[in-house]
Structure formats: C-alpha cells, structure tokens
Structure 1
C-alpha cells in the first residue's frame, strides 16, 4: 500500500539544480563567495544565523530543540572526487579516512576514545562521507554545554586545517580503504560504473567514482594526500553548520574562536575541466552479466547545464519538473498493475548530476528477458506524453499531493530533527541554492501550483526530451546473441517508434471509504484503565480487541500506530510464504480498490500504511497528520475487513523475488542470508532464505488460505502514539476497532531453535567479487530477561570495540567489523552473540583466530572500568534520545504489550539499569556464554580461489 507518494519537500532540493559555481559549465571550482541568497530574488530562512569569518569560512547556526539537548555540527568541504586529478583518483575519500587518524590536538588512536568519553558513538554520532562534489564531517554532541561545544569545534577545526597525515597511519589505513572497496564491490556496483562511463562519457563524472582506483590507493603517500588537502581544504571553501538545542549567542563566539585562527594558502586552486557530454544522436548501450539476476531497459536524455543563480523563475521550473515526475510515475504505476507479467519495476526520474548535467530517465525491470516488449512500452508511453501531454485531472491529483506535503512540513517543522535540518542546509550550500523555511516554501510553491497552466506543465517535459538524443540501454542477465547487440537495440527502438499512440485515458477509480461505518456505543468497552507509570491508557473491547494509547509531543501534529494481529511467520504453512505475502498485500490495495486507485482517492492526505509479516504477528504500521486520523482508522478497518489478494500483485511479487534470488545467487551476502542464517538456527528450514524452487511453488490460493482467516479473526492489539487529543482517538478507536467482528483472544506465541554449538560451516559461492565473510557466534538466551539482554548488548559493544581496534586499526584488514547480540523474542531460550568481518580471501583463518582470542580474553580476564565506561556512555546518550521519541514508545514499549505486559515496566529502569552495569556483570556473562567449545563458525568464500585450500574447514589456523 503506497497511499502517499514517497516524495518529501526536500525533494525540491534534489530535482534539477542548474546554478553552477563556475563561470563555465565545464569547470570544477571552489564555492562561490557569499551566499546563494545574495544572488537571488529569493529570501533565505530568517531563522538561520549566517556569517563569514575573516579567513573566508562561512557558518550557519540554527536553534532547534529536537532531539532535546543534542547538537548537530558539520564541517562541509566543497570538494569531492570530481576535484581529483588523474593521479589522485581516490584521494578525496582516502583523506576523509585520514582525518580520524591524527591531527594537531589528537594523536593517532585518541579521537575515538575522546568521542566515547563524552558519550558519543563512533560511526553514529561522529562520521563522514565523500561524494562527487563534497566531503562532510559530522559530530552529534550529547548536549550543548559550552565545554562540549568547544570540544566539538576543536575536532572540526583540526579536520579543517590541522591533519598530520603521518606515513605510518597512511600505510595502515590503506588496508582499511581497500577492504571498504572490497565490501562494497558487487556485480550491481560494477554495472552502475560501466553505465556511468557510457552515459557521462566526456566528463569527469564518468571516471571519478569516490572510492577511486586501487592502484592510487596502494601507492598513495603523504605528499599526494597533502597536495589535495592543501588545495581544496581551504577556509573559503568550507562551511560550518550547527543545528541544535543551543542559542546562537552561545555558539557564535565559540565558533569564531575555534575557526578564525585557521589560515589557507594565498593562491586559489586552479579550476578543473569537467568536460561535457556529447550525445548528438540516438545511441544504444548493452551490458550483459548473468549474475545481475534481472534485466533493465531504459531510455535516457542527458544534456549539459549552463550556469544560473537560484531564483523564483528557476523554482517555478522545478515545480513543473516535480509535477511531471509524479504524473509520469502515476501512469507507470498503472502500467505495471496491468502488465505484471512483463514488469517487475518501473520508474521515471529527472534531475541533475552535480549541477552540471541534466537528465531524464524512463526505466523498467522486465521479466524473463522480454526487453523488446519492455522497450516498446517505454517508448510508446514517453511519446504519448510528448505528443498529447498530461491532462488537467492528473495535475489536480498531483497538486493535492504537493500541497499536502508542503503543509505537513509546516505542521511538523517544530519537531524536525536537527540532523535533517543540518543536512538540508549543506545540500543547499553545495547546490548553490537558497534554503527557505517550510512556511516560505509553502507560500512560494502553493502560489506557483495554483498559477501553473497545463501549457507550462507539458512544455516542461517536452523541453527535457528535446535535447536531440535518446540513450537506449539494455542491462542485466539477458544475453543478446551475436556481436551487434547495440544495433539490435537501436533497431528495436526504431521499430517501437513506428507504432501509433493515442491520447491517454483515465479510469474512474471509485470511492473511499466504501464500507459501512460501524454503529457502536460505549457499551462496547469491556475494560479501561490508566497506566500511570508511562502516562498511557489501555482499553479492551468486547470483541477482544486491545488498544493502548500514549499522547506525546515528540512529533508535532503527527499520529503513529501499529496494529498487530494473528501469529505471523510462526503460523507460516510453507517457508517463503511470508516474503510473498508482504509484497502481495502491500501492492494489492483492497479487494474493492487497486493500489493506484486507492492512492488517487487518498490524494492530498497524509495517510501512510504498510503491511508486514513479522515472526510472531502480522503488522499494519500507519501514520498521518493528526487531522487525518479518522481516515487512517478507516483504512485500517477496510484492510482488515476487505484485504486484497490480486493475481497481478502475486505475479509482480514472484517476479521481484526471483530477480532478488538470481542477483544474490553468486554473492557472499546471498549465501549469508540463506545457508549461514539457517546454519546458526541448527538447520531449521523456517530460518534464512528458503530455496527458490520452494518459493516458486507457492500459489496465491495457498497464501489466501493462510492469511484470510488471520485478517478476519486473528487477535488484534493496537498501539497509538503521537500529538493527539486522547478523547478523539478513543472515539475513533471505539468505532473502527470496537466495531470489528469478534476476534480470537490475544495470546503469546513461541517456538524453539537449536544452536549448532561447536560446529563449522563453509559456504562456497561462484562470485566474481574477491571477498570472504567470516562469522563467529556464541549461543546466549532469549530476550525476555531484560536485565540480561541489556548487559549482553554492552558485552557485544565491548567485543565490537576490541575487534575494531585489532582488525581495523591494527591489522587494517577490514572496513567495518560487526558484533551484535541477538536475543530472540520468539524462540524460547535462543539467542546469539555474533561477530562478522568481511576480509580478503586467504585471511579467513587469521580473522577467526583474532575473534576467538578476543572472546577468550573477555571470558577469562577482567574488563577495565574505563573500557566499560567508553561503551556505556554512548549507549546512555542514545537511550536519552530514544526515550524522547515516538518509535521507542510505539515499537519497544506499547506494541504487543498485551502479549508481553512486562514491556510496560521497562521504561522506568532503562537509564538507571544501564548506568548500574558493572564490570562484574559483563565478566559474568562473558564467562557464561563466550565458551570456546560453544562457538560456531561460518566462512563464505569464492568457490575457486587460490587461497581456499587453507580455510576449507572454517577452523582457525594452528
């Protein structure tokens, strides 16, 4: 169930942005001095405090109280992989890594401990990224005290101009970067790179993937890294963004003190030649790889952009483009509904790449290699729009959606998280765009939408496709015989163009709500009581439906709920039915309305709903603005009473799953999801991906036979949180929940699994990708002793930190080692503490040995108090955020609390219990669970690797 298009207001910042920083289209230069609003007839958000230091560094400060106490600060450098010379390919990303490995005020190895000591989680509260046109570093402070602000600014100022770039650290970090390259490598990634080389040929975009070249990474030294650092890490090419629960008066002098002393070289960097695409005629592209698992057909138009400043006129063009995207996608959704045997996915995209290239793309994933039929549909649908245009009623639906999104942004602005605001500010800066407040956006765009004509709308999409070229691509697992595949693709495209097209016809969709509204009164309430400890209320209706609601102020004007019913995957007659059911129900709409028809009837509302098969229940998760609460309850009522199970949705779900199975068949991650997961469950067929042959054999009738009784009579419990009037929600719940037919009593469900103590397992994959995955796990226990569960989380945190220090920081053998505790909520007495590492082939035994050594030391030696504190403090910071959020109360406390009433007691102890965890607690659990003979080991590796011989048993080397 889509019900609301997944496009937010921020989408306006992601569509076409043609204001370039350079004087010419083909230049990659520094950020333009000043602010975008200096060069525009648009006004910037008045709540932003902006300034420029004497050294040219700019800053933006915004006061925001969500989440409470927290402060998000970012350092943005207006440079990325596009700024690299040929000899520097990969240096921008390498440099991002190096700034964590030594600076003037932080010696190598000190920074992570520094973050942990003040309650920050490395990777969560502090991180960085490198893209084509920017590099950014973020710090999310636990609070806005002057002391912590000073510490945060000290770190960012060291990033900016005080990196040490020690040769010893460069040598160690290159192994981490090569491991990151390996972990992210896939046939899909390689296919995207090849397609970029074709589409963006003639520009740096075709040759500047941020991860870079392995040869450059292997040979990079201090001189090479410093040349990029000194060239582009300039104060006049940076902006510091601070958003959080602080006052600008407090932040501004601290920021100025930290960054004003920084100096940059006097000479500005020379602009680089970005190049230009030259697609003067129709071209075909073909890429065949059987491991991709699916076949994608696309038609593209790509063109060079010219420099423009942000303006009302440009924003009007963007509104037109967004409307066209939404209208085209709406048509394509209907096409997929009617042609489920052909398409497993279809979409329309239009925008810009790094503000230098414009593009429009019509793309579809076709089933069974039917690329010719898919290409004909795409060409005909595109030509139909270009010849006849969109219709007024289509635009009216899209207008409702856009106005609704803009209004929602205004109503929820006061509780928008600081990180999201900070990222939108950075996105605007890099795009040379004026950042406006939600109210400014509503005022501007709603007036434009009311004023737009269909002539302007249709002229917009025609302009995008008037660039004089079509790039026609076929990519994937379909082999086109012979050595002239591109010529065959172009011939098929030209053949499709000979087919006549007619004007688009709209279908009449029906009405909603269409079921009779139940007539109930207060007598339906069987039981009602308050839960004072958590400020919640429980109501039990005569039909056995249970409701629990808790008003909150975490998300302004918003309501969120989950409705759990039945027994979920535990009642699954055949493995794999739940995977199919997820997609079938979500795509089917209701029995009376298709998914697209329901979308149209709900246009302009904020209602969203999603179906999910969970381990022990079926779940409908929904949200809306509070003003749409009744519509949300009506949709829940309709789906429970009149669910849809459409043949076309079943076909699409099967096709999509088949593509997923095919794409991961020769991937290490696929082997982990299937064989390795099942191995750690003792071979139980309910766990892990079942064989495709079993899934393929499942019929729609079998799924209906399983689900229909659950929808009709399965025990129902509903949890609601949000910014609402409790009496109004109780009134709606009485009608739409109390008005349901009598349900089965709610009861807990459980089962058992067996952990493979002491066993080893090897999964061989016929992969092109040169990597292995090592997994070592120990059996623990189930979820329901919450004190034990919390302490196992801390033990996993200590284990993870030690593993990071050894395999990443010391050996440079992996990018991001993973350790987690996974106590089961469903399987009695079952849980596991698990370590996972992606490594180069031949390194499996070495890493297994390191993992088991850490486990042995944890189970036999004392844990230093300072080590425990460095893990506990970030946990506490995260927990303080969590208890002030709707997701925590909804999903961790209230949902399924009829089955598990102990959940309602957990909030009272969550902070004090974590604060009270001792080294003795952790040591006791390590001694109990991290036993050498209890560990199970799995290794996933290439079937034909020169390094396989030494690791075939999965056992550590002697």
Structure 2
C-alpha cells in the first residue's frame, strides 16, 4: 500500500517540476502550459492527453483532441460566478446576465447573436445554450465541424460574452419577461418542496437563500446598471475557464485563444471563493412537513457530520468505492424486500458525500412511498441501514458488487478511444476539486484498491459513518399527510431506532442457466449489400440476422431484436394488456431466476433483460461490450422462450398506479398530454391511456392467453452494429436464436391494424390542470399524413425548424411572454396516413390571447409566401451540418440494419437521405405549409388552471 502511494506521489512530483512550461514559440511566448487543474491537491495521475494552460491575464484553458464525433468541436466558457455571490438586491441577476449575453454586445447587435449562431449551423437550445448555478455560469457551443473559421467565429462570440455585454436598458426591459417566464415555469410544487427541504437541511446557506432563479422583486425591478456592475465585478479572466474538445490542433487552438482573449482585462481585484457554507453539526433532530395535493409522497433523512477537505486522492477513492459498494448492497436488499412483500415502498437510495463544503460530510437516505405509506416505509429503510451498521455485509454480496466494478472499469478502458467529445467537455466544464484521469489509470487504481474491498473493510467503513445517523433532520412531503406533525415524524423514527435488527439472509451464488438452446442453426442465405456494407443472413428456422461492422465505438456492439407483433398483436380492447406487458414482463424474471437472482447472475456483464412492446414488434435495442454479446443473445433468447411470469412483478406493476393516475392533471404539461390524446383519438386505446381499473385487472394469466404462441413462432429479425467479429457473431446467433424451433413465415401485419383516424373535434379545447394558477401549456395541432414520401417528411421537419425560429423571435424575444416555444412534425412509419404538425409553448394564462395571436401571425406569414433566404438557411443549416458525421455513428446505421431484410425500401431512403434534403427549396416548404396549415382545421389545446377551466373558448 505504501509503495503504491509513493509511486503515485513520485509521478506527481515530476509533474509539478514541469509547472508553468511556456507554450512552444510557434504558438505564443505569452501563454503558459500548466499542470492539470487541481493536481496540486491530488496524488492521482492526470490524463496526459489534456493540455492545460493559462494566459497572462489569468484565463485558464483546457484542450483535448478527440475524434468522436469525427467533425464536431465543443467549446465551453465557464465563469466562477453564480447565485451564491449575489447580495439581497441582486438575487437572480447572475442568471439574468446569462440571458443578456445573447442580447447585444459591443460588436454584435441585439438579436443577432442567436442568428449568427444559426447561420453557423448551430441550433438554439440543442447546440447553443447556457446555464447558471450556485457557483458557476457556463456557455456552450457545439460546432458541427472543425473548420478553423467556424472555431474563430465561435471564440469571437464567446469573447463578446465574456467582456462586451452592453446591458442596454431597453434590451434589459425586453428580456425581463423571458426571465420571469422561466421563473414562472419552474415555480411549481416540486420547486416549492425543494426549497422547504433546503431550508431544513441547509439553513442560512446559499443552498437555501440564493436560488439561481432569484426573486421576483429583483427580476422585475433591478436596473440595467446593477447588472452591468455585477458583470464587471465577476466576469474576469482569472475566474474564467475555456474548454475546447474535438478534432483540433492544440497549438492552433492556443493561438486562437490567445488572439481572442489575451486583451481581456478584468478589474483585477481578489474576489474570493464562493463555495463557503457552515453548518451546526450538533443540531438536535428536527423535522419538516410539506403538504400539497399534487406532490408525491417522499421522506428524506439526512445528518451533517463534521469532516475535513477531501481532495481527489488515493484515500478518497478508497472511501468512495467502499461506500459505493455498501450503498449498492443495501439497495439490492431493499429491492428484494420490496419485490417479495406487499409494502408501500416505491423506491429508495442511500446518500453519502464526504468533504461537503470542505468541512462536512452528509449521511442519510431517501424514500418514495405510496400515498399514506410513509409510516411503514420509513422503518423498512431505517432498519435496513442499521442492519448493515450492526451486522455488515456478506462475502457474496461484496463479490457481486466487485464484479460490477471490475466490468465497469474494464469496459471504460476498452471504449475510451471512442468516447464522445461531449463526455470530456462536460467533465472539464463542471470540474470542482477533482482531477481528470484516464480510463486505464482509473482501472489500475481500482486494481490497487480492490484488495481492500473485503466484507470486513466495507462493513467497518459504512458503520463508521452511518452509526452516527442518530440526530438527523427528516423531511416528509405528500398529499395525504394533513395533520402529521414534526413530532409524529420524529416519534416514528425513534420507534424504528428502538427496534432490534437481525442479521440479513446470506446470498448464494447461482451459475448461468441459459447456455444450451439445442443444435446450432444452419445458414440458408448469406448476402452482402455492397454499397452499404451490410451483411444479411437467414437461418433454416427463418431467423434473420443483419450485420454492420464499424469502428465508431470501440468494444461496443449495438443490438436490436424484433419479434413480429407488438401492440398490433393485441386487439384494441386488449391494449391494456400490452401496457401491462411493457411494465411487468421483464420484472417476472426467467424460469430459472427471479428478477433479483437474474440481476446477480448478470453481475459483471453489460447484458440487460429487455423485452419491450413496440407498435409492430416485441423486442428492443441496446448495447453491450463485445465480450458480453453472447450472454446478451442468450438472455434475449431465454426471455422469449422461458419467461418467469412471477406474481411479484404484477404486484410491483400495480403498486404505483394509484399515485400515477392521481397526478395525470397535476401539471399543465401532463394535463395537455393526456387531454390531447383523448380529444384526438377518442377511445382508441392504442393511443389513449386506459382507465386505471383495466390496468389493475391485468395479470399474467390474461397476458399469456392473449399472447398465445406469438413469441415462440413469430418471425425474428436481429441487427448487430459495431465492433465485433462477423464469424463469431454469426456463430453466437446460430447457438441461440438459430437453434430455436421453426418460425412461421411472415404473413405481415393486417392492413386494418395500421388504420387510424383522428376525431373531427377541431377547435379549442380547455384542459384543466391542478398546478400553479399562473401556469399554462398551449399547443396547436394540424393533422398531416404518414412518412411514405421521404422528401415530404424532410420538408415538414424543415418547416418545423423554421416555424420554431419564428416563434422564438415573436413569443420570446418580442413579446417576452414565454421562456421557450417549439414546433414539430411527427409522421408515422407504422400507421397509414397518420401524422401531425404541432406548435406549442408555455406561459401565463393572462397572456393566452397574445400568444395565440402571435402564433396565428407566424403561421399566416409562413403560408403567405416563401420565407426569405436568411430564415430558410438558418432553419436548414443545422440539419445540413449534421450530415458531416451522420454515417459515422452506429445509431444512424441501426435505424436501417434492424430491418434491412423486412423493410428493404428503407435502404433506398437511407441512400438518398442527404441528397433529397439538400434538394428542398423554400418554395417546397411553402407548398407544404399551404397544403397542411393554410386555413386547415386544427386542434387548439389550452391547459389552464382548474379555476379557469370554464372560461369561454376563443
């Protein structure tokens, strides 16, 4: 142990000797390469592929070359400034400043920032975004390609954001409505609950007194000058980090960073650390209650303990891993009890963090329970935690968790070379006190620490921390807790603490039971689609297999299983059984394993039990590492040949139904979703949630009767995409699905099952919700058609992108009536003639007339004449740029490989996808808009508060 630590420390000392190495002269003699961020407090080995540096003005940067996706470059600007730094009369201004960064700078007029980004191929929201937290404000740009001019433009815009925001008073006034709309959208019962929790757990800290969204009074009244002063005070180079990840030349990037940011000069004063909070670790137990008609019942138990700083070190890794293992075991124990007994427990998790606010640790647990079930659920989890404290963990339980960690670390090493740039960018942007390490080093570190993960050491570590959970704060929330007092909660906790706990049942390892499915299948057809390099095969029993080998994701194989049937196998009156199957089939386990034993048997693999109910098939899709492909195929074959159909899965399916149905109109969005489906589809249970009693009546006996032999006999098609050996994969499928009995010849789905019809109930529909009185969800929907015409489908998607841009211009930027707006086209590839075009937004009910008039004006504009060249280009540029990488992604290929034999016409659509999109003109978009939107009947949905539900339409 000592030698290992010494070796790491020696390597670190060598790294420190290289601090402040000048960047090579070809880049600049003014920028300096530095040691990795936070390495001065760590004895771990940093990832050597990341270049760190600093400009003379103090701005720090990190650059990592990465080629997944092949062309995309991600740039992040992170400023160490958030709501924790705000004074009373500044609450919410850090977030307001973030908004103003898009509303006029020295060299970019108001309204042009977003347009410039769209012209560069970035979609607002998806590729262009920003966020404000307690301690950090960050701006993100996801560039579609690594073009030097594009990167230069992006850095120019971020430099404008960093120091050149103007805060024109008129622009500030225009943006107030947008910021207040965002506050309104967030201000629901869940946010109210979160505030109450923070006030109990973290009193007098920024967690409970400085929410990033701010206060309404400040947002309504703070002058532009106050924002400008705050911006000048905190947006300084020495508080800013710039991150660039993608297929870039680091030296060229350093030159570009220096060119754009070296001239930035902040006010030059030391502003201190924002992360300051202190808590009384001697507080007596306390409790809080939050009652609301729509909030889910939950209990949070937490105690803050005295601790010390915990930098990212060998010691902390040891602690974190032990506690992770302990939490995993307790979670498994609680899940088994919940599955096997009729208890009102809907979920739970164990919480632990050391080094919280540098001098504290947090221990506790959280519970979700059925309405009114907290008195039963609380002692279950409390006693499970105390059982672990008093009696520890068994060797088999530890072994299962270690298997999972072994696999996780090994898989990370195998896949790191194709890890996406987004993963690296997010880690670097959100880095606090940690150090970024490489996957192979993390595995080596794990192997060093693994011998210290025995049952005794993990048990002692857990007991050290959770034995101190004696004076917690306990927070209860729910809708059926009226009359419950804080004394009641504390009394229930004390009563549980006074109950003795017995040692747990010991786990017994089980071997794998599904390795033999009979004689391996024989191939009767083997061809290759040469231009797409897709290999298609068919076994003697009728099973189809499609292969596409790629190197886009190292050591990862994406798989797809399709068994003909799905919801179309069920009659319309039996659709509740399809929903039941979706929610309970996998939970029933297999013949040889219940769900808990199956999870244990799969420990250390990436194989997962999946069998979903699609519109026209049973099956699913996911990904595994290469070594686990055969286990995944064995598991899938077992799931269709030997399902467990255990009653505990029925009980788990039914348990949350009452709470789920009680909240269908709890928020504007949920009321709109359910109401729209009902209005447009009537009682067609393929598209409408059935009455609760129908789901509660569903069971495996009824399901088996309706399923019949479909899983045993229906045609099967399997798709594999990724990093695998073709001969090995074929042999694996031959030993599993190829060995199954003969499948029926595919007769195809009855065309009648594909027929649908929207109702004729066009016009305005008021959908009451039980949420906040100042919240509304609004949507307008036009029927269109299915996706049989690919070019029309693409045209409608482009129309949606253009309409979205115009709605944001009008509703957000000009009216300030909403935080966001959207438009979408959904054209079915399953149901004949079924499709919709929708526009929607959220807002205050008082603004409904203005919102509807603005939407009507946009639609009138779009249908009156072709859009101008600039708007057309801004709408289509992000899609055009996406083609740079689309064929270098496994997810793209799986869209056609999964049905390469049963739907060969989609191969031709794939071949012509880009060509057809590029051929679409503004005239085409206009013709489509006139065809489906101009003076055409539509549905308008207003999800408004119950008190206003009876308001007259129009």
Give the structure-1-normalised TM-score.
0.91
Q: 1:249 maps to what in 2?
A: 251
- 2:150 is aligned, of 129, 148, 151, to 148
Matched, 1:439 2:455: no
Q: Aligned-pair distance for 1:920?
A: 1.5
- 1:857 is aligned, of 836, 861, 873, to 861
Q: 2:875 maps to what in 1?
A: 871
Q: 1:8 maps to what in 2?
A: none
Q: Aligned-pair distance for 1:390?
A: 1.7
More off after superposition, 777-786 vs 202-211? 202-211
- 2:426 is aligned, of 406, 423, 445, to 423
Could you list the per-position Cα deviations for residues 815-870 of structure 1 after superposition, in whole angstroms to 9, with x for gaps in the alignment? Answer: 11010001112221111110011110122222222222222222221221222111
Tell me, in whole angstroms, the C-alpha distance in 1 between the residues paired with 2:868 and 2:798.
13
Matched, 1:786 2:787: no
User: Unaligned stretches of 5+ in structure 2?
Assistant: 1-33
Contact 1:510 1:593 in 2 (8 A): no
More off after superposition, 304-313 vs 813-822? 304-313
SS in 1 for 2:845: coil
Describe how 1:894-905 pairs up with structure 2 within 5 A. Answer: 894-905=897-908
Contact 1:320 1:460 in 2 (8 A): yes
Could you list the per-position Cα deviations for residues 190-248 of structure 1 after superposition, in whole angstroms to 9, with x for gaps in the alignment? Answer: 21221121111232211222222122211122122223322222211111111101111
Instruction: Summarize the Cα distance change of 1:323–1:355 in structure 2 as closer, same or farther, 3 Å threshold.
Output: farther
- 1:533 is aligned, of 531, 534, 539, to 531
Tell me, in whole angstroms, the C-alpha distance in 1 between the residues paired with 2:142 and 2:637.
41
Q: Alpha carbon RMSD of aligned pairs, Å?
A: 2.2
Tell me, in whole angstroms, the C-alpha distance in 2 between the residues paired with 1:925 and 1:631.
48
Describe how 1:157-236 pairs up with structure 2 within 5 A. Answer: 157-236=159-238
Q: 1:23 maps to what in 2?
A: none
Contact 2:520 2:734 in 1 (8 A): yes
Q: Aligned-pair distance for 1:684?
A: 3.2
Q: Aligned-pair distance for 1:407?
A: 0.9
User: Unaligned stretches of 5+ in structure 1?
Assistant: 1-31
Contact 2:91 2:214 in 1 (8 A): yes
Matched, 1:880 2:881: no
Contact 2:796 2:825 in 1 (8 A): yes
Q: Aligned-pair distance for 1:424?
A: 1.1
Tell me, in whole angstroms, the C-alpha distance in 2 between the residues paired with 1:278 and 1:113.
52
Q: 1:301 maps to what in 2?
A: 303
Q: Aligned-pair distance for 1:33?
A: 11
- 1:387 is aligned, of 383, 390, 396, to 390
Q: Aligned-pair distance for 1:630?
A: 1.0
Q: 1:561 maps to what in 2?
A: 559
Could you list the per-position Cα deviations for residues 22-56 of structure 1 after superposition, in whole angstroms to 9, with x for gaps in the alignment? Answer: xxxxxxxxxx9983102322221111111111011
SS in 1 for 2:437: coil
Q: Aligned-pair distance for 1:366?
A: 2.1
Q: Aligned-pair distance for 1:556?
A: 0.5
Contact 1:588 1:595 in 2 (8 A): yes
Tell me, in whole angstroms, the C-alpha distance in 1 between the residues paired with 2:188 and 2:588.
32
More off after superposition, 681-690 vs 80-89? 681-690
Higher relative contact order, structure no. (Cα contacts within 8 Å, ≥ 6 residues apart): 1
Q: Aligned-pair distance for 1:771?
A: 0.9
Q: 2:239 maps to what in 1?
A: 237
Q: 2:94 maps to what in 1?
A: 92
Contact 1:674 1:690 in 2 (8 A): no
Q: 1:814 maps to what in 2?
A: 818
Q: 2:451 maps to what in 1?
A: 450
Tell me, in whole angstroms, the C-alpha distance in 2 between the residues paired with 1:593 and 1:541.
29
Matched, 1:828 2:826: no
Matched, 1:627 2:630: no
Contact 1:684 1:753 in 2 (8 A): no
Instruction: Summarize the Cα distance change of 1:63–1:270 in structure 2 as closer, same or farther, 3 Å threshold.
Output: closer
More off after superposition, 611-620 vs 97-106? 611-620
Tell me, in whole angstroms, the C-alpha distance in 1 between the residues paired with 2:706 and 2:223.
62
Runs of 4+ in 1 over 4 A off after TM superposition: 270-273, 352-357
Instruction: Summarize the Cα distance change of 1:373–1:512 in structure 2 as closer, same or farther, 3 Å threshold.
Output: same
Q: 2:800 maps to what in 1?
A: 796
Q: Aligned-pair distance for 1:757?
A: 6.8
Could you list the per-position Cα deviations for residues 138-181 of structure 1 after superposition, in whole angstroms to 9, with x for gaps in the alignment? Answer: 11112222211211111111121111122222112121122222
SS in 2 for 1:533: coil
Q: Aligned-pair distance for 1:467?
A: 5.9
Instruction: Summarize the Cα distance change of 1:304–1:844 in structure 2 as closer, same or farther, 3 Å threshold.
Output: farther
Contact 1:758 1:933 in 2 (8 A): no
Tell me, in whole angstroms, the C-alpha distance in 2 between the residues paired with 1:502 and 1:723.
49
Q: 2:755 maps to what in 1?
A: 751
Describe how 1:221-620 pairs up with structure 2 within 5 A. Answer: 221-269=223-271, 274-278=277-281, 280-292=283-295, 294-303=296-305, 305-351=307-353, 358-428=361-431, 431-465=432-466, 466=468, 468-481=470-483, 485-508=485-508, 510-514=510-514, 516-522=516-522, 525-572=523-570, 573-620=573-620
Q: 2:26 maps to what in 1?
A: none
Tell me, in whole angstroms, the C-alpha distance in 2 between the residues paired with 1:876 and 1:708.
47
Instruction: Summarize the Cα distance change of 1:357–1:928 in structure 2 as closer, same or farther, 3 Å threshold.
Output: farther
Contact 1:340 1:649 in 2 (8 A): no
Tell me, in whole angstroms, the C-alpha distance in 1 between the residues paired with 2:236 and 2:469.
38
Matched, 1:773 2:787: no
Contact 1:89 1:216 in 2 (8 A): yes
More off after superposition, 310-319 vs 686-695? 686-695
Tell me, in whole angstroms, the C-alpha distance in 1 between the residues paired with 2:902 and 2:406.
41
Contact 2:616 2:830 in 1 (8 A): yes
Instruction: Summarize the Cα distance change of 1:710–1:300 in structure 2 as closer, same or farther, 3 Å threshold.
Output: farther
Q: Aligned-pair distance for 1:287?
A: 1.9
More off after superposition, 538-547 vs 718-727? 538-547
Instruction: Summarize the Cα distance change of 1:188–1:695 in structure 2 as closer, same or farther, 3 Å threshold.
Output: farther
Q: 1:837 maps to what in 2?
A: 841
Tell me, in whole angstroms, the C-alpha distance in 2 between the residues paired with 1:691 and 1:812.
39
Contact 1:757 1:934 in 2 (8 A): no
Contact 2:823 2:838 in 1 (8 A): yes
Q: 1:702 maps to what in 2?
A: 702
Q: Aligned-pair distance for 1:663?
A: 2.9
- 2:924 is aligned, of 921, 926, 937, to 921
Q: Aligned-pair distance for 1:354?
A: 6.3
Q: Aligned-pair distance for 1:368?
A: 4.5
Contact 1:755 1:830 in 2 (8 A): no
Q: Aligned-pair distance for 1:688?
A: 3.1
Instruction: Summarize the Cα distance change of 1:652–1:224 in structure 2 as closer, same or farther, 3 Å threshold.
Output: farther
Instruction: Summarize the Cα distance change of 1:34–1:61 in structure 2 as closer, same or farther, 3 Å threshold.
Output: closer
Q: Aligned-pair distance for 1:302?
A: 2.5
Give the count of matched residue pairs: 912
Q: 2:640 maps to what in 1?
A: 640
Give the structure-2-normalised TM-score.
0.92
Q: Aligned-pair distance for 1:265?
A: 0.7
Tell me, in whole angstroms, the C-alpha distance in 2 between the residues paired with 1:267 and 1:905.
63
Q: 1:5 maps to what in 2?
A: none
Could you list the per-position Cα deviations for residues 885-921 of structure 1 after superposition, in whole angstroms to 9, with x for gaps in the alignment? Answer: 111211x222234443211122211222211111111
Could you list the per-position Cα deviations for residues 287-312 of structure 1 after superposition, in whole angstroms to 9, with x for gaps in the alignment? Answer: 222312x3223432233553343322
Contact 2:83 2:210 in 1 (8 A): yes
Contact 1:298 1:474 in 2 (8 A): yes
Contact 2:765 2:940 in 1 (8 A): yes
Could you list the per-position Cα deviations for residues 571-604 of structure 1 after superposition, in whole angstroms to 9, with x for gaps in the alignment? Answer: 3343443333222123232232122211111111
Contact 1:893 1:903 in 2 (8 A): yes
Contact 2:36 2:46 in 1 (8 A): no
Q: 1:672 maps to what in 2?
A: 672
Contact 1:773 1:839 in 2 (8 A): yes
Contact 1:584 1:646 in 2 (8 A): no
Contact 1:856 1:932 in 2 (8 A): no
Q: Aligned-pair distance for 1:769?
A: 4.6
